[in-house]
Amino acid sequence: MRPELATVIANVGMDQFDVYTYNTWVVAQKFFNFCMHGSFDGIGQFYMNSRYHDWSIAHEVRLVLERRANRTMSDKKTIDNFLRDFSCIIITGCSSGIGRALLTRIENSDTPALVFNLSRTEPETISKDLKFTHLTCDLSQPTEIQEVVSRLQNLIPRTGRILLVNNSGFGAYGEFPAPDLNHTLKMIEVNVSAPVQLTGLLWDRLKSQGGQVANIASLAGYQPTPLISTYAATKAFLLHWSIALDAESKKYGVRCVAVCPGPVSTNFSKAAGLNGPTGLGGQSAEICAEEALKSMALNRPHWITGWKNRWLGFFSARLPKAWAAAIGLRMIQKLKLDRFRH
């Protein structure tokens, strides 16, 4: 018997615990675990492990899991149809992390669109069925962005909707201006200036052909965040710029979406000056990308990926800014990230 149940029995003085209540508790716990972490494949074993008098509960579990499976299939269809609706998809920084996960999902959608990656590094192992072109570009250099867009203008189809995903970005950890001022200024160029310049240079094509601009912002953009202050500020800019731009551009058939992930398993830690994974957890890049594409398909002006992150964003955005900064500083200090620094 579970220790926690034995404690309950001792406290209430029961000589014999109700077996049905115990089994119901176990089944309910299994049900919760299935909903949070399980897969539909386990339902058969779940039935085998359930007692006959637990059948009604197991039946409810089955209905919930079936609804979950149907919802997953519906989400997949929604995303596939969304991606197939474009004649051209442009992504920055899809050689790793969230960008690579987005590209993989695009590959799996069977979209007929021309797909372009703008970054310094070309992604590996691209499907031969994807109409993919890599255009080398250092997004911290405005002149290179100007040149690559000039090439793009001749490659983008003259008809059909355009999807632009401003995904590239990096951060830094430590008291300003750590690690150094040049790193901080380059971060502003990549995280802020590049999306604005790229979107602006393609804006006439977007308005004439229709489409969407998706900006990968961050949960950190919802509040002032010490020790990653400049990074958080760049993401706050992307968040508010996207929402305002969406309000302006609807009349032209162009929508703008700000996707705001929390911690994600990517190369972000290394770029931020940390010497490896911090063990802080978070979403996988694949799950984040799937949720991001769903929010883009639904034209949500802004969306935080991960339900825990949404709760955190909801409350932190409503605190007085000075309180949010003070609480954020204390929380980040408790993580003791300095031990991971180079």
Q: State the average pLDDT over residues 61-86.
A: 73
CB atoms within 10 A of CB 277: 12
pLDDT band at 51; cut points 50, 70, 90: very low
Instruction: Pick the range with the lowest mean pLDDT from 67-76, 127-136, 182-191, 294-303.
Output: 67-76
CA distances from 220 to 11, 226, 304, 315 (A): 46, 10, 10, 13
pLDDT band at 28; cut points 50, 70, 90: low
Structure tokens at 238: 């992307």
- Res 74: pLDDT: 77
Higher-pLDDT residue of 34, 256: 256
Instruction: Pick the range with the lowest mean pLDDT from 126-130, 209-213, 260-264, 329-333.
Output: 329-333
Q: State the average pLDDT over residues 82-110.
A: 96
Structure tokens at 40: 């539909």
Question: Which range has the top average pLDDT, 56-65, 224-233, 274-283?
Answer: 224-233
- Res 6: pLDDT: 45
Higher-pLDDT residue of 336, 217: 217
E strands, 145-237, in order = 161-166, 211-216
The answer on pLDDT for 21 being more than 50 is no
- Res 214: pLDDT: 98
- Res 316: pLDDT: 87
Higher-pLDDT residue of 67, 143: 143
Q: H-helix or E-strand containing 20? A: helix 19-37
Distance CA 189, CA 259 (A): 19
Classify 18 as helix, strand or coil: coil
- Res 266: pLDDT: 59
- Res 48: pLDDT: 47
Higher-pLDDT residue of 310, 6: 310
Query: What mean pLDDT is reported for the chain?
Result: 82
Q: State the average pLDDT over residues 269-283.
A: 55
pLDDT band at 60; cut points 50, 70, 90: low
The answer on pLDDT for 242 being more than 90 is yes
pLDDT band at 15; cut points 50, 70, 90: very low
pLDDT band at 19; cut points 50, 70, 90: very low
- Res 282: pLDDT: 77
Predicted confidence (pLDDT) per residue in 172-222, tens digit: 989 999 999 999 999 999 999 999 999 999 999 999 999 999 999 999 999
- Res 17: pLDDT: 42
Predicted confidence (pLDDT) per residue in 142-154, tens digit: 999 999 999 999 9
The answer on pLDDT for 4 being more than 80 is no
The answer on pLDDT for 232 being more than 50 is yes
- Res 63: pLDDT: 52
Distance CA 9, CA 5 (A): 6
- Res 336: pLDDT: 64
The answer on pLDDT for 325 being more than 60 is yes
DSSP track, 73-133: HHHHHHHHHHHHTEEEEEEE--SSHHHHHHHHHHHHTT--SEEEEEESSPPSS--TTSEEE
What residue ranges define each of the domains in the chain, with the CATH number in brackets?
3-73 (no CATH), 87-340 (3.40.50.720)
Task: Indicate the pTM of the whole model.
Answer: 0.76
